[in-house]
Amino acid sequence: MPLRIALVLGSTRPGRRGDQIAAWALEAARAHGGADYELVDIANHRLGNLDEPGNPNLQQYQHDHTRAWGELVDSFDGFVFLVPEYNHSFPGALKNALDYVYREWNDKAAGIISYGGWAAGVRAAEALRLVLAELQVATVRTQPTISTLPSFHTGTFIPQDGLDTAVHGMLDQVTAWSGALRGVRETRTRRATAA
């Protein structure tokens, strides 16, 4: 069964530039191969502020939108987060989406493509890594960055030199780690079933 990797667009801001970056990244990922890639735009899931009363670790969800989000997250073997930098961190909408579920994220791999001004979103990516570690998501080292100042100087996204190479390097790592961690999840499921 082929690996399934979600490209998660982490901004919900109207007029965001992430749409163009996401379309380009999805095309680059599909050209890279090694997995089935799907764009997951958190703006389309209308999660609202976290409204589940229970601990997400218990998976006792009371709302249909949480169950649907959990099933979607659970269906993937790995992730690539497309994350802008807002005030030295990543958007609250993405943090909210991460917090809705817990076990569905566990033992999976992730890469991060960050974007922003001259710092190219690197502070957002570093903040995101801390949260992903707590969710038991293994982040890969290669981290493509996009400075929006030169990349959008015409108003349309133009990838800068070297970005394709960085994205392909990251995807090599994400697919390798996602395949290995699939085995970890399968072992965990077998043990739980046998117990």
**Would you give per-residue pLDDT tens digits along the chain (195 residues)?**
999 999 999 999 999 999 999 999 999 999 999 999 999 999 999 899 999 999 999 999 999 999 999 999 999 999 999 999 999 999 999 999 999 999 999 999 999 999 999 899 999 999 999 999 999 999 999 999 999 999 999 989 999 999 999 999 999 999 999 999 999 999 988 888 887
SS3 7: strand
Residue 35, pLDDT score: 98
Residue 100, pLDDT score: 97
Residue 184, pLDDT score: 95
The dihedral region occupied by 59, where left means phi > 0, alpha psi between -120 and 50, and beta the remainder, is left
pTM of the shown model? 0.95
Residue 192, pLDDT score: 83
User: Residue with structure tokens 């987060």?
Assistant: 81
**Burial (CB count <10 Å: 0-12, 13-18, 19+), residue 43:** middle
For residue 78, what are the CA distances in angstroms to 14, 54, 106, 116? 27, 26, 10, 24
Domains of the chain: 4-194 (3.40.50.360)
Residue 191, pLDDT score: 86
Residue 135, pLDDT score: 98
Residue 193, pLDDT score: 86
Q: How far apart are CA 3 and CA 176, in angstroms?
A: 10
Chain segment 36-89, per-residue pLDDT in tens:
999 999 999 989 999 999 999 999 999 999 999 999 999 999 999 999 999 999
Cα dihedral across residues 30, 32, 33, 36: positive or negative: negative
Cross-strand pairs, 6:
38, 79
